[in-house]
Structure 1
Amino acid sequence: MPERVIMGVIEEDGSYHCLPGTPDGVLPGCMPMNFDVWGYTIGAYAVGGFFGSIASKYFNVWFGRRDNIMMSCGWMIAGGILSACAVNLTMYAFGRALVGIAAGMCGSSVAIYVSEISTNKSRGALGSLFELFLNLGILLTQIAGRSMAYAPAWRALWAIPTIIAAIQLACMFFLTVECPRRLCANQKYDEAYAALQRLRGKDVDIEEEYQGMLAARQRELDSQQKQMTIWDIISCKDRHVSWNTVIVMVIQAFNQVGGIGPMSVYSVGFFTQIFGDATLASNISLADAAVNIGATLVSVVFMHKVGRKGFMMISTGGTCIACIFMVLGSSLKNSSGGQGIGGLAIAAAIIFTGSYSMGCGVIPWMIAPELLPMHALASGSALGGASNWFFNFLINTIWPQMNAGLGTYSFIVFVAINLFGFLFVTFFMPETTGKDLDDHDKKKTEDVEDGTGSSSDASHQGDNKDEEKSHHYSHIEVAQ
């Protein structure tokens, strides 16, 4: 794998240098370091992701979802170039941090963007595509990493995502539109109408959907809702919003905290120990990545039928059982008296990966817009993303010490964590499948105004839906 080439080798006297035969060119063939320093460079990515998630709260409000995603592409390009051209560890780690900032900004923004441009029925399937392409990227990265694990080819691994980010930036600029819902919130009603028409197709009648969007924005104006800050949520200014944000943060945490990182790392090391064949262990890891994609496809197809809560229960329950199998598979004696049962460990890795991908890998990226009203979405989504990146950093940082201290019983910790997740989802997570994104605002406004919101709705919905599209400006004047 490329990290061995980048890190070099550590001698018994504590010195480290490049692997024998590693060529130097215009740029160094490697950057010798020990495992602790390598861990810090990996951690720089998670730290960058944490701050990128927090920053997305402001950028989503100031610039919108689409522009925020395009800016994250810029950070990705800068970080990729810096990492690919690094001449020392500081430069390499800083490049990793910039890529992390891009990932943190992009993660929450893409989830909001997909949710807001989707119909109620298609939102689950389209949201699942986020994880599907993420898993596809992981699989392709592993394949590329195996074939480019030498100098200077490992630097080209950073050029690949840089080129992809540049292509994405161009596609976002020329082929996409800002979320109509967001444009309405900014009172850019004509742009919102045009954007919605482009998303739904030029021959589709969008009048009813557009009127509902206008009515929702009008309810926000009537109720004088202000954008909630992160502090407003933390200080429980609106207890309902704060509690739903807690749910978002817990669901986002289970994208990382249930053991997906250690399971990936541990399974390769464990299989190498059991079978004595690093290549076979790597092949099993690739098969595991393929299971990731297959399980995500299942969620794409059945998301609307099984539901967000249903898949999260399947996911947390499955990962809990898989962690039990991993403990048994790595701790019990095999038939020849050796340590570990290889078949059970392989089954544990496959069950874990499949279960994780159907729920914990998918649902966190679509749950925030379905649980939070628009005036709290940017802040709540930022807190959810920060929770994800915090546990990414925490788990992957403490895992080596935890594994060294508990040995083959390390995954008992994740048994307890995933059991907690299953119980939390069962008793506290509401079902949001098929829910209209503006249900929050409608219900609250009707409760607060004691029926006055319905007259406001009627003023927007009483127009003839068969009017020509050119008449939509009259609705804009009403909303203003």
Structure 2
Amino acid sequence: MSDQSSEPLLLNRKKASKSLDETIERCIGEFGWAQLLQSILVSLSWVFDAQQTFISVFTDTPAVSEWSLQRGVSSILTGLPASSFFIGCLIGGLVLSTLADTKLGRKNMLVLSCLIMSLAGTITSISTNIWMYSFFRLLSGFGRATIGTCALVLSTELVGNQWRGQVGIIGFVCFTVGFLSLPMIAYVNKESSWRVLYLWTCVPTILYSILVHLFVHESPRWLYVRGNKEEFVLTLKSITTRSSLTLSFFGSFFEFEDQEHNNSEESTMSLYSAIKMLIEKNWAFRRLISVMLVGFGIGMVYYGMPLGVGNLPFNLYLSVTLNALSELPASMVTFFLIGKLTRKKSLLGFAMLSGICSIGCVIVKSDYLKELQMGLELFSFFSACTCFNVLLIYTVELFPTCVRNSAVSMVRQALVLGGSFSPMLVAFGRENRWLSYGVFGICIAICGLFVLCLPETKGRTLSDTMDEEEYKESVLVC
């Protein structure tokens, strides 16, 4: 009897939730100038993210040489600074990831992350030995861990379903710009100390953090989930052309939510409750593990390829520039095809291509074919970049608002975990390329197969609660 009486309440709850989601979609679905400017300002953080991620290509070797460590030093010690950065990213992801879903929100977490990364990078410029240098690289990675996650989630939650994929690409393009700016800044300052490169890239990040704090709005979806109703309405009014939005406009939805607030598992979210929900729900845990395994393989190639170009018979500045430029067509491919191609087929196809080309770099050994080697390396990196872009957008669509930032952050940690092995593999690969490019190719091909365990999300609307997404999951199964 109790089960029968609870069915209408459950149906009403889903109906009200769906109606509210449709109402929010109508409010932000019409893409305007306010949303465009907000998305661009948020996405600019990817520029500084890219600079600190790949700055080791130009700074680690001069730093090691300055402290007379180049000769007679193991590959492990030579790769310590770059590995420390990725380890810092892992630690930062575990410590900071859920704050954006719980206490701080997307905007404040983005500001905090940028400040930690930039201040640590600035202090890195005064390092006196490899241990101090590696420690501040670790601290910089700790701060950098959640920048891309917060930027992607915040920018996509500010727009409607129709523009979600395109807005996500803005961040990837900004990442390409940041990556591409590195060899240019390094070349201009090639007669200066490696320390100058850190100042050139970190001081602007501090100024950027202030701009975000002053001019960027918080995610309306996050504000709603956290119960900040007045700020939720004010934010919607500031980013939409609908001037008639008021609390009374959403009154019926808020009234229903208040009645159910005590029964909602999202209403009592603590610091790590988002992670707890991801683990407790079987469907969410299965998705998280699968998408993280895919991310691990992609991360190994994505972060490893630019670090390993020094092992190829090509000019370093030219090689890094070509790698950075290959990110641009990857972003464009994602931009134009994200609305047409399915997520699963795209990831699987590009992962296989990346793996094949990476192994090809090992097979083609002759210096007479160095152009072919470089071509295979670039196409492998291009494919990995495309996988990286699609994977993050795919993850945003796989999880609801209440845990989305934590889920995306966990996937980014899987990407970084794969990348953390790259510096050591690159160092070992100087003697045998199978230990670098060979491992890269095999890893991304095998890990890419786990995408087959995930549902397709193309064309679906975003869910806000675990109940909504679980309902969609049950419908798909049926």
What TM-score does the superposition give when structure 2 sets the normalisation length? 0.75
Q: Which whole-Å deviations, capped at 9, do the CAs of 1:440-460 have from their partners, x for residues lacking one? A: 532536999xxxxxxxxxxxx
1:271 equivalent to 2:313? Answer yes
Q: Are the aligned partners of 1:45 and 1:96 in contact in 2 as well (CA < 8 Å)?
A: yes
Corresponding residue number in structure 1 for 2:460: 435
Verify: 1:290 aligned to 2:325, yes or no: yes
Equivalent-residue separation in structure 1 for 2:221 and 2:351 (angstroms): 33
> 2:362 matched to which residue of 1?
327
The verdict on how the C-alpha distance between 1:216 and 1:400 changes in structure 2, with shifts beyond 3 A counting, is: farther
Q: Which amino acid aligns with 2:82?
A: I
Match 1:343 to one of 358, 366, 371? 371
Q: 1:401 aligns with which of 421, 428, 442?
A: 428
- Contact 2:354–2:384 (CA<8 Å) still a contact in 1? yes
2:273 paired with 1:232: no
Aligned partner of 2:393 among 366, 371, 375: 366
Partner of 2:303: 261
Name the structure 1 match of 2:4.
none
Give the aligned residue type for 1:351: F
- Residues 79 and 98 in structure 1, CA contact (< 8 A), matched pair in contact too: yes
Task: Please list every run of 5 or more consecutive structure 1 residues that lacks an aligned counterpart in the other structure.
Answer: 16-32, 273-277, 331-337, 449-480
**Pairing 1:380–2:407 present:** yes
Q: Distance in 1 between matches of 2:70 and 2:387?
A: 47
Q: Is the alpha carbon distance of 1:118 and 1:248 closer, same or farther for their aligned partners in structure 2, counting shifts above 3 Å? A: farther
Determine the structure 1 residue equivalent to 2:131: 90
Partner of 2:158: 117
Is the 1:107–1:365 Cα contact (8 Å) retained in structure 2?
Answer: no
The corresponding residue for 1:27 is none
- Counterpart AA for 1:262: G
Q: Which residue of 2 aligns with 1:53?
A: 93
Q: Does 1:172 align with 2:204?
A: no
Deviates more, 1:33-42 or 1:43-52: 33-42
CA contact (8 A) 2:117 2:140 kept: yes
1:67 and 2:108 aligned: yes
Alignment of 1:173-192 (within 5 A): 173-192=213-232
1:314 partnered with 2:349? yes
Does the 8 A contact of 2:291 with 2:450 survive in 1?
A: no
Give the helix-richer structure, 1 or 2. 2
| 1:289 Cα deviation after fit | 1.8
Amino acid at match of 1:181: R
State the AA in 2 paired with 1:317: M
Whether the 8 Å CA contact 1:55–1:382 is kept in 2: the answer is no
Residue 363 of structure 2 corresponds to residue 354 of structure 1: no
TM-score (norm 1): 0.75
Alpha-carbon distance between aligned partners in 1 of 2:358 and 2:277, rounded to the nearest angstrom: 34
- 1:160 — aligned with what? 200
- 1:44–1:248 Cα change, 3 Å: same
Q: Once the 2 structures are TM-superposed, how far is the Cα of residue 243 of structure 1 from its aligned partner?
A: 0.7
On the 8 A contact 2:354/2:444 being kept in 1, the answer is yes
Deviation of the 1:250 alpha carbon: 2.4
3-state SS of paired residue (2:427): helix
C-alpha deviation, 1:162, in angstroms: 1.8
Indicate whether 1:241 and 2:298 are aligned: no
Provide structure 2 residue ranges, at least 5 long, that are not aligned to the other structure. Answer: 1-57
What is the one-letter code of the residue matched to 2:154? Y
Shift of 1:64: 0.7
Tell me the matched-pair count.
411
**In structure 2, C-alpha distance between the alignment counterparts of 1:162 and 1:82, rounded to whole Å:** 10
Displacement of 1:211 in angstroms is 8.5
Is the 1:78–1:98 Cα contact (8 Å) retained in structure 2? no
Q: What percentage of aligned pairs have identical amino acids?
A: 16
User: Does the aligned pair in 1 maintain the 2:224–2:232 contact within 8 Å?
Assistant: yes
**8 Å Cα contact 2:304/2:426 also seen in 1:** yes
1:418 maps to which of 437, 440, 444 = 444
Report deviation, 1:82.
0.7
Deviation per residue, 1:329-380 (Å, 9 max, x gap): 22xxxxxxx55622321220221122222222x1233333321233433443
When Rg is computed on C-alpha atoms for both structures, the one with the higher figure is 1
Aligned twin of 1:99 = 140
